[in-house]
Every structure is written in structure tokens, then in C-alpha cells.
Amino acid sequence: MAISVFDLFKVGIGPSSSHTVGPMRAAATFAQALIDQHLLNDVRRVQIRLYGSLSATGVGHATDRATVMGLMGEWPDSIDPSTIDPRIQQLRETGQLSLAGQRSIAFDWQSDLLLLDESLPYHPNAMSLSAFGASAELFTQTYYSVGGGFIVEAAEAESGVAPISDVVLPYDFSSAAELLALCRQHNLRVSELMMANERAWRSDTEIRQGLLHIWSVMRECVEQGLRHEGILPGGLKVPRRAAKLHRSLLEIGKPNVISSTLSAMEWVNLFALAVNEENAAGGRMVTAPTNGAAGIIPAVLHYYMKFNPDASDDDVVAFFLGAAAVGILCKKNASISGAEVGCQGEVGSACAMAAAGLADVLGATPEQLENAAEIGLEHNLGLTCDPVGGLVQVPCIERNAIAAVKAINATQMALRGDGNHFISLDRVIRTMRDTGADMHDKYKETSRGGLAVNWVEC
């Protein structure tokens, strides 16, 4: 399966790529299928069934609301987040759902949206959607939200065969060893090799414009996070901290990464907190590669752009391409889904990707880049996904700030070496996969273990 940089970095909404973005995409796909199969006018009722992790933490992750909005014909990359609350409130009051945005049908939140205490075999994030006519079921489909906003239909999952793509990449790779060999053989940097692969889908202009758009959405997300104050929704009463921290850092004066490393790290913390507070509030996001880990990559890129006076848009493009190479390896050979392998798959992958992106723009060799990614991922192995209250707030927001700093440190360590190191990135990714398989389900985005059950309410 050929994976593009734009598969890993997608514009969406918070708070979760697998629990919000994926389900909305699945429901919108289902609604479109009803149109394509000329069934829309015959539908009298729809039913949503959420399984596994989507059921266990679905309300805290807004899976229920996202799925309903998808049935209304909304897509995560184009929906206005500010319209969700009033439209959900109207649906609850009237009991009427605008299916595909075209046809009004009755919808009962209690009987037509079911949170089931069971799992389906392929993936913990499963959902089934069914449409009924006057006397019979018209159409049903099961979807799996496999992380990062990716969805897989049941037939594809049951076949066990990845979808065949007609895209032929000039430098296809499925392991870090293959990536490094291609770079050596063709004398390419990792970002250069990735750019050549991206040309299989798009022109240079389209690639550049697309990545700079991703960067603009990330920057706007940070700006929104710096403006908003108050308490995050969900009931935990977690206060936003980014705006206050921003005012405090501005009072210090212009920071300098050389003379005041601690000040620089505080800015990294700030950028990550701003993004993840916006994510927790359901704002406009970029999956990077997931929403739960969405603050790490923009925080590191903001750090580079802020503290390097010579930074340019060319660096932004190279950063995303270098980061995506590692994200592709994590997705192909393990998982970026917290429900599948724990938070090591989300924060760990994002930390490795951020380290790789930073290494590329700082002039690292491919071997040093691979080393930076390995350090970033290795020191997140075993990280559980145990959000308190099923909300992407505690420990998720702070965890992004910690991992962003860790990514920068991983790059610094790798750049001090020559690329030779003891454990390869491929072995660490394989270890992440195996650790995730061994991890108890209660530590994988179900909120049934770990911090989720060991917090004290004051």
C-alpha cells in the first residue's frame, strides 16, 4: 500500500483522529453510498452501533457526535467546528436528522445510537451503520477506524489483503533498511526521496502548496490555542494553560536558543499545549499522525522556525517529508492507533517523526535521521493509552509537550554521532508492535486501567 505524506497529515477536528475524524469519515462515506446506490429517498431510519474502544471512550472522544455529523454529510476537513454544538442540540430537541444533508428522518439518540460492550475481531475501533426502509434493512456497512483518520471497510479487513494501489513509487520502501539503501544508492536525502515518491500523485507545485497549507492550519491551531482561556469541556474541569504561559514568556523578552535553552524549551511546551488544548476543545486540527499526538510535530517545527533566523518555506516542506518517511514505516510495520498498541503508537510515532523532520532540516545524513527517529521511538516504548474520563486531556496534553522536547533531544544526540547505533529503527518499530500485542486491553484507549482509574477527584 502506497502511503502519501498527505495520508499522515490531514486536516480535521478534535479531539481524536481515530475516534472523531475516522468515524465522521466513515459515516459520511456511508451517507454518500446511500446516494450512489439510489437508496436515500427510501430510508426511514438509521442506526449506529459502536464497538470496542469506540464504545468505551466514544462519548469522551465525541465519537457519537462525529458519527451523527458524518451522517448529515459533513467531512472532518471541511466542517466548521463551531456549528456542531447547535446542530446536535437541534437534533436532540427535534428528533430529526438531515441524512446526507438532503433528507430529514427521525432519529432517537438512545435507540438509534448504541454503545455496545463487545468487540469485533479485526480492530478495537469498530462501528456498524445500517439504513432501514419502511419494512426492511436497505444497506449496512461495518467500518474500522485504524488510527490517524484512516478507515477500512469490513470486506477489506476480512480479506486480510491491503488494497491494491495503481500508484507506482520510484523509491518504494517498507523498512528503514530499504529506505537507507535507496538513499545511498541514489545519493538522496530522505526528504528528496520522499519528494520523488510524492510526484507519483501530484506536481511539485501541488505538493508544496499542500504542505504549506498543512503548516498554515497548524499555525492557526497554535494561534487559537494562545487566544482561548477557561475550562476545557468534558467535566474534568481541566484549565487551559497556553494563553497564560504565552503572556509569561512574552514578559521575559525575546528568547535565545543558545543563551537560554530553558526558555526555548518553554516555548516548545507552549506550542504543544496550545495545539492539544485546541484538540481537546474540538477545534480545527491536523492529524500528525493522530490527534492525540497532534501537538508534537507542530511544536518541534515551530521551535525550528522561531529560533532559526534563516528558516524558510523550503524547510517546512523538507521537515514534513522527512517526518512522513518515518510515519510510513510506523504505520506499515506496527500501528499509529492508541486503541491497537497503546500511546506508544501515537505519541511514540509522532516523537520519532518530529525527530526525523528536524534532523532532515538540520542537515542530517539519512543514517543520522534514522538514528534520531529510533531514539525518539525507543524511549516511548510501552507507553499506555489511559485517558482519564475517556477525554484527550489527562495525560495527553502534557504528554505531547514532553514528547516534543524529547524529539528535539533525540535529534541533537543523533547529530552528535555518525549514524551508527546499537538498535535499528526497524527493530524498535517491531518491538512497538510486539509490545502493543502483549499490552492488556485496559491500557489501550478503553479508560479501564492505568491513570484512568487511579486519579483522585479533589
What are the sequence ranges of the domains in the chain? 17-159, 176-453
HEC string for 164-182:
CCCCCCCCCCCCHHHHHHH
Whole-number Cα distances in Å, 108 to 23, 48, 113, 138, 314: 19, 11, 8, 19, 51
pLDDT bracket for residue 252 (50, 70, 90): confident
How buried is 129 (Cβ within 10 angstroms: 0-12 exposed, 13-18 middle, 19+ buried)? buried
Lowest mean pLDDT among 46-60, 80-94, 246-260: 246-260
Q: Is the pLDDT of residue 272 over 50?
A: yes
Question: What's the average model confidence in pLDDT over 7-11?
Answer: 97
> CATH code for 17-159?
3.30.1330.90
Is 17-159's fold the same as 176-453's? no
Neighbours of 70 (CB within 10 A): 28
- 425 phi, psi to nearest 5 deg: -60, -40
Q: Is the pLDDT of residue 168 over 60?
A: yes
Neighbours of 251 (CB within 10 A): 7
Q: Is the pLDDT of residue 347 over 70?
A: yes
pLDDT, residue 257, reads 44
Between CA 317 and CA 185 the distance in angstroms is 23
Q: Assess contact for 196 and 171: CB atoms under 8 A.
A: yes
Burial string for 18-41 (b: 16+ CB within 10 Å, else e) reads bbbbbbbbbbbbbbebbeeeeebe
Question: What's the average model confidence in pLDDT over 369-377?
Answer: 98
pLDDT, residue 159, reads 79
How buried is 441 (Cβ within 10 angstroms: 0-12 exposed, 13-18 middle, 19+ buried)? middle
The radius of gyration of the chain from alpha carbons, rounded to an integer in Å, stands at: 22
pLDDT, residue 262, reads 72
pLDDT, residue 253, reads 63
Tens digits of residue pLDDT in 173-229: 999 999 999 999 999 999 999 999 999 999 999 999 999 999 999 999 999 999 999
Q: Assess contact for 229 and 240: CB atoms under 8 A.
A: yes
pLDDT bracket for residue 162 (50, 70, 90): low
pLDDT bracket for residue 158 (50, 70, 90): confident
pLDDT bracket for residue 264 (50, 70, 90): confident
Percent of the chain with pLDDT over 70: 96
Q: Which CATH architecture has domain 176-453?
A: Orthogonal Bundle (1.10)
pLDDT, residue 336, reads 97
Percent of the chain with pLDDT over 90: 93
Q: Assess contact for 4 and 198: CB atoms under 8 A.
A: yes
Tens digits of residue pLDDT in 126-155: 999 999 999 999 999 999 999 999 999 999
Question: What's the average model confidence in pLDDT over 164-179?
Answer: 91
pLDDT, residue 128, reads 98
Q: Is the pLDDT of residue 163 over 60?
A: no
Q: 197: alpha, beta or left, given left = phi > 0 and alpha = psi -120 to 50?
A: alpha
Give the full edge-to-edge strand order of the sheet including 113-115.
113-115, 45-51, 125-132, 137-147, 150-153
Between CA 368 and CA 364 the distance in angstroms is 6
pLDDT, residue 161, reads 61
Question: What's the average model confidence in pLDDT over 422-443?
Answer: 97
Lowest mean pLDDT among 140-154, 368-382, 442-456: 442-456
